[in-house]
Each structure stands twice: as structure tokens, then as C-alpha cells.
């Protein structure tokens, strides 16, 4: 029993250390916190390497045309990992869909840190963006299936992939 309590406490505390900033509505904070727990359970390596070190924020991204985006900012003291989730997504998406958005953006961050350090998404060619998105969207689809997503949640991502001309594997 003591071991179980220690495991629960360490799991709970590590989930809380993801920095959730500028979530103006308590229900958004609760939804994102639940999404972080889903990521931690289903993708512990991504959670540990990226998500737990990221600042998660929300903002109005309608005009930019994004549901979410990420950035890696270099500072004199290190790298700041940053995930921005659009207000529309926070309002309409389930906890699991928000978890999949966090996984999606974390994979972009992982690529910037390891495969293409210092590269900015804006400098990628269309072909490079499609290649990266093919990899990431299909990983996100597998994440949703592994996390027991509903048929509607899976169908929603597949619709988006078709719209973006992303091959589904």
C-alpha cells in the first residue's frame, strides 16, 4: 500500500509540473491538466522529454489559421519549449483530443530539438512540411487509437488529415 501511495504521489506531482500559463478559464486549466495526465500515461517518454518541460498557453488563433502551434526559443539560460493551443480547440475539444494536440505539437518540438535544431517552421519547404506532418499526424492517430478514443474522435482526425492531404497509414 505504501508503495502504491508513493507511485501515485510521484505521478500526480510530475503531472503538475508542466507549466500551464495564461489559461483564463478554470475549465480550460482542468481540461488541459486532464489531457496532460492522458499524455503521461500513454506517452511517458514524450511527456518526460518535452511536455513536462513545456509552457502551455492558450490564445485566439483563428486569424492565424491554426488549431495550435509550438516554438522552441533559445535564451542565454537554455531553451524554452512552448505549446500554444487555440481557444476554439479548448472550447470544443475533448480532453483526449487536447492530449493528441499536445502530443502533435510535442513531436514538432522533438524534431526541432533533435532532427533539425535551429530550423524554423517558416523556413521549411511545402514538401518538408508535408513529410513532417505525415509522420506526426499518423503518430497522433496511433496515439488516439491506443488511448481508446471514440470513433468520432478518430474520424475527426482522419477528416483533417484528408483535408490537409496527409496520407493515412
| Residue 138, pLDDT above cutoff 90 | yes
Q: Where are the alpha helices (DSSP H) in the chain?
A: 2-16, 26-42, 44-49, 87-92, 95-110, 126-146, 151-163
Confidence (pLDDT) at 13: 37
The percent of residues in the chain predicted with pLDDT above 90, rounded, is 62
CA atoms within 13 A on the CB side of 30: 4
Confidence (pLDDT) at 2: 38
Task: Name the pTM for this structure.
Answer: 0.84
Highest mean pLDDT among 50-54, 126-130, 156-160: 156-160
| Residue 3, pLDDT above cutoff 90 | no
Q: What is the pLDDT of residues 89-107, one digit of tens each?
A: 999 999 999 999 999 999 9
CA torsion sign for 49, 54, 59, 65 is negative
Q: What is the mean pLDDT of the chain?
A: 85
Confidence (pLDDT) at 17: 43
Amino acid at each position: 500500500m505504501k508503495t502504491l501511495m508513493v507511485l501515485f504521489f510521484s505521478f500526480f506531482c510530475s503531472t503538475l509540473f508542466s507549466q500551464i500559463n495564461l489559461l483564463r478559464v478554470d475549465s480550460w486549466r482542468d481540461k488541459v491538466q486532464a489531457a496532460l495526465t492522458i499524455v503521461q500515461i500513454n506517452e511517458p517518454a514524450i511527456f518526460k522529454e518535452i511536455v513536462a518541460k513545456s509552457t502551455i498557453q492558450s490564445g485566439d488563433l483563428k486569424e492565424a489559421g491554426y488549431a495550435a502551434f509550438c516554438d522552441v526559443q533559445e535564451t542565454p539560460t537554455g531553451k524554452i519549449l512552448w505549446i500554444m493551443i487555440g481557444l476554439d480547440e479548448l472550447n470544443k475539444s475533448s480532453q483526449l483530443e487536447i492530449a493528441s494536440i499536445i502530443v502533435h505539437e510535442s513531436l514538432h518540438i522533438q524534431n526541432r530539438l533533435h532532427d533539425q535544431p535551429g530550423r524554423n517552421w517558416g523556413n521549411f519547404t511545402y514538401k518538408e512540411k508535408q513529410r513532417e506532418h505525415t509522420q506526426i499526424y499518423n503518430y497522433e492517430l496511433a496515439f488516439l487509437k491506443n488511448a481508446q478514443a471514440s470513433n468520432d474522435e478518430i474520424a475527426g482526425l482522419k477528416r483533417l488529415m484528408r483535408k490537409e492531404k496527409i496520407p493515412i497509414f
